[in-house]
Amino acid sequence: MRVVTDPAELRQASPPPLVLVPTMGALHAGHLALVRRAREAAGPDGTVAVSIFVNPIQFDRAADLEAYPRPLEADLDRCREAGVDLVLAPQAGAMYPPDRSVTVLETSLSKTLCGATRPGHFDGVCTVVLKLFNLFRPAAAVFGEKDFQQLAIIRRMVRDLDVPVDIIPFPTVREADGLAMSSRNLRLSQEQRADAPRIHRSLRHAAGRPDREAMVAAAREGIESPLNRIDYLELVDAETLQPHPDPGRRALLAAAVFYGEVRLIDNQPVAPAAG
Ligand code: AMP
């Protein structure tokens, strides 16, 4: 496995096709499932690449950026064991010149859900992902459906800017009790960790309700606990991410929930017949 910290070293060619898994590190079984999917797409002779970069420009809260776990050595061990060929783990200074002045701006899909409460977040995500695409020049890149809005926005960016990268989605990987795996789970107290599976459980049960109001009400009732605070809970169109989806279209029940300073997200698809 080749590990580089200087993005310029990526100019050295790797066997094609190259399939990229962009991450912020603190790798868990969810990330490793994306790596396996990348290997499937790259084939045994292609290159599976992982980027590990806690991207400062996508954080809206300084405390969240500071507290984000960075267990680099353990991450590299996991990548090695998973058969990754190439890792980029740069410092922020190597990615962003101090006088940088160009950003990717998304003006529609990023206005709801996480984008509504995290201003600038998805512009930071788009900017770093486009940079990673330019550095690695991958044939394909794998993104998790846990971050459904991110996936939709990356797809839109690739479409609108004619970026020649196939976007491969991957279903949410969960702990045995249903909690969506996340690097942020490491920051939950034991009590918060025991409470957090209610998010997935409630979204799943609520998605079976006959109409939108009942769905959102049931999910809210199930998720709320003395240990958390709901940031948002919404039923949105699965493609446009706009609220109040047409009952005939695929929808998504999506939530962000704070446990103390730790913000967890999850989502549940809703069949088109509902509503
Ligand atoms: P992150 O390191 O949290 O930025 O995530 C890197 C990639 O892994 C993103 O495409 C995420 O959507 C994906 N990912 C993170 N957690 C999960 C999970 N539990 N299941 C599936 N994909 C995930």
Tell me the C-alpha distance between 254 and 170, whole Å. 17
Residue in 55, 133, 146 to alter for ligand 1 test, most ligand atoms within 8 A of Cβ: 146
Specify whether the CB–CB gap between 232 and 253 falls below 8 A.
Answer: no
Of residues 119, 117, 95, 105, the one with CA closest to residue 153: 105
Domain 2-170 is in which class? alpha beta
Q: Where residue 138 falls among pLDDT bands split at 50, 70, 90?
A: very high
Mean pLDDT of 21-26: 98
| Domains 2-170 and 183-266 are alike in CATH topology | no
The domain limits of the chain are 2-170, 183-266
Of residues 77, 51, 55, the one with CA closest to residue 68: 55
Q: How far is the CA of 16 from the centre of ligand 1 (A)?
A: 24
For residue 274, what pLDDT is reported?
43
Residues 89-116: tens digit of each pLDDT: 999 999 999 999 999 999 999 999 999 9
For residue 211, what pLDDT is reported?
86
**3 Cβ contact partners less than 8 Å away, ≥ 6 residues apart:** 76, 87, 89
Q: Residue 245: pLDDT above 70?
A: no
Specify whether the CB–CB gap between 15 and 47 falls below 8 A.
Answer: yes
Domain 183-266 is in which class? alpha beta
pTM of the model: 0.96
Residue in 19, 20, 23, 84 to alter for ligand 1 test, most ligand atoms within 8 A of Cβ: 23
Strands (E), 113-250: 140-144, 166-170, 229-237
Mean pLDDT of 199-211: 94
Tell me the C-alpha distance between 21 and 34, whole Å. 7
Of residues 8, 40, 44, 5, the one with CA closest to residue 21: 40
